[in-house]
Amino acid sequence: GCTTICQPGCCDSRLVKGKILICDSINGQFLALQAGAKGVVFPYVELDTASVVSLPAAGMDPKRFDAIASYQNSTKNPVAKILKSDTVTDPRAPAVAFFSSRGPNVIVYAILKPDVSAPGVDILAGWSPVASLSDDPNDKRQYHFNVLSGTSMACPHVAAIAAYLKSLHPNWSPSAIKSAIITTVSDPILALASADFAYGSGQLNPVNATDPGLVYETTTEDDLKLLCHLGYGTSRVRVVTGDNNISCPARTSPTAIKDFNYPSIVIPVPPKSDSFETGLLRTVTNVGSAANATYRAEVVSARELKIQVKPDVLCFEYLGEKKSFNVTVCGGNFSADPFFASAALIWSDGTRSVRSPIVVYTLPPM
């Protein structure tokens, strides 16, 4: 009926006051509070994210909601009670929320999207006491904290870790800090198809990031080559850098993207490819606590791929020393279209593990 719609003009407050109102959406809570209802029931499909409501409420999946609506229509005196919530631990956590943007990267196919995952669901965060807790102007509660979800909650976690790393390592470049965060993540619990395009390298681990051992750094020259290759052109690159002496070459190097010294490796291949082979160059810098260090390569590969690293042992003699290596990835006989394969390259000195995700996938049709 009209009451279930829960829109202004569709509800008689004389009938609703003191009752639990059944509404067809979460926004019905606003009318329910205004009309004097004591509670509200509504369908809620986004079960992995909590919402702050302005009065006692129960959100449930559509099937259960329909059952309650049927019960209401089956009796003249329906009775309901909203009980106190119980905390339920989800053994599948951490998982990627429905609102999180997925890859692949449609601007630069060879760079992994997202880079890394951070907590962004049901975060206890600071809140202005003059703002409504539930976006309801009739909700007069005033608190300095609220429970929020979104990338706006995940971003501060990453920014804080970056600031923390900078305080510990004031000489680190932005790319070194980013590399430390990406290569020291905790392994994701959920192994889903195309999962790297959901969680990136994994869930960040601030403790591990303080001592990554090795970092992948990019130089200003690397960044400029990438911008030129992406078609920004001399005039735009000069605006970005503020340097009028910079010029993009007439022809950019095809290795500008694949050899971009990023802590992940992404290889897009044309649809319906019979086989492929790609070689890439990477360079790491020794930032560990020991000047003398030896790192050995370990490859965790999908069965569809063959991955070779040369050299597979890196011996460092001093802090700040750089070592380069080549990675060759080949595969063929793809059984699926679109094709997706996930692997990883791990450099380890026996104490630290520096993990770089490797993703091979077929390009979407243009």
Q: What is the pLDDT of residue 280?
A: 95
Q: What is the pLDDT of residue 87?
A: 79
Q: How far apart are CA 151 and CA 117, in angstroms?
A: 10
Q: What is the pLDDT of residue 173?
A: 97
| Cβ contact 204:157 at 8 Å | yes
Q: What is the largest CA-CA distance in the chain?
A: 84
Answer whether residue 144 shows pLDDT above 80.
yes
Answer whether residue 4 shows pLDDT above 80.
no
Q: How far apart are CA 217 and CA 222, in angstroms?
A: 10
With bands split at pLDDT 50, 70 and 90, how would you rate the model's confidence at 106? confident
Q: What is the mean pLDDT of residues 55-76?
A: 91
Q: Which two tokens stand for residue 262?
A: 């990023």
Residue type, 116: V
Q: Would you tell me how many other CB atoms lie within 10 Å of the CB of residue 327?
A: 21
Q: How far apart are CA 121 and CA 315, in angstroms?
A: 42
246-260 confidence digits (pLDDT tens): 999 888 777 778 899
CA nearest neighbour of 178 among 104, 264, 92: 264
Q: Would you tell me how many other CB atoms lie within 10 Å of the CB of residue 99?
A: 13
C-alpha to C-alpha distances, 353 to 94, 100, 268, 293, 356, nearest whole angstrom: 21, 27, 26, 13, 10
262-286 confidence digits (pLDDT tens): 999 999 988 777 788 999 999 999 9
Q: What is the pLDDT of residue 2?
A: 55
CATH number of the domain at 2-74, please?
3.50.30.30
With bands split at pLDDT 50, 70 and 90, how would you rate the model's confidence at 184? very high
Q: Which two tokens stand for residue 67?
A: 């059952």
Q: What is the pLDDT of residue 119?
A: 93
Secondary structure of the chain in HEC code, one letter for each residue: CHHHHCCCCCCCHHHHCCCEEECCCCCHHHHHHHCCCCEEEEECCCCCCCCCCCCCEEEECHHHHHHHHHHHHHCCCCCCCCCCCCCCCCCCCCCCCCCCCCCCCCCCCCCCCCCCECCCCCEEEECCCCCCCCCCCCCCCCCCEEEECCHHHHHHHHHHHHHHHHHHCCCCCHHHHHHHHHHCCECCCCCCCCCHHHHCCCECCHHHHCCCCEECCCCHHHHHHHHHHCCCHHHHHHHHHCCCCCCCCCCCCCHHHHCCCCCCEEEEECCCCCEEEEEEEEEEEECCCCCCEEEEEEEECCCCEEEEEECCEEEECCCCCEEEEEEEEEEECCCCCCCEEEEEEEEECCCCEEEEEEEEEECCCC
Q: How far apart are CA 166 and CA 64, in angstroms?
A: 50
Answer whether residue 55 shows pLDDT above 80.
yes
Q: What is the pLDDT of residue 1?
A: 47
Residue 72 burial by Cβ neighbours in a 10 Å radius (0-12, 13-18, 19+): middle
287-320 confidence digits (pLDDT tens): 998 889 999 999 998 888 999 999 999 999 999 9
Task: State the residue for tokens 């990627």.
Answer: 96
Q: What is the pLDDT of residue 159?
A: 96
| Cβ contact 4:22 at 8 Å | yes
What's the pTM value of the predicted model, to 2 decimals? Answer: 0.86
**Angle between helical axes of 220-229 and 233-241 (0-180°, round to 10):** 150
| Domain-wise residue ranges, the chain | 2-74, 219-259
CA nearest neighbour of 206 among 239, 167, 256, 261: 167
> HSE (CB half, 13 Å, CA atoms) of 94?
19
Q: Which two tokens stand for residue 286?
A: 């020794």
Mean pLDDT of the chain: 89
Answer whether residue 239 shows pLDDT above 80.
yes
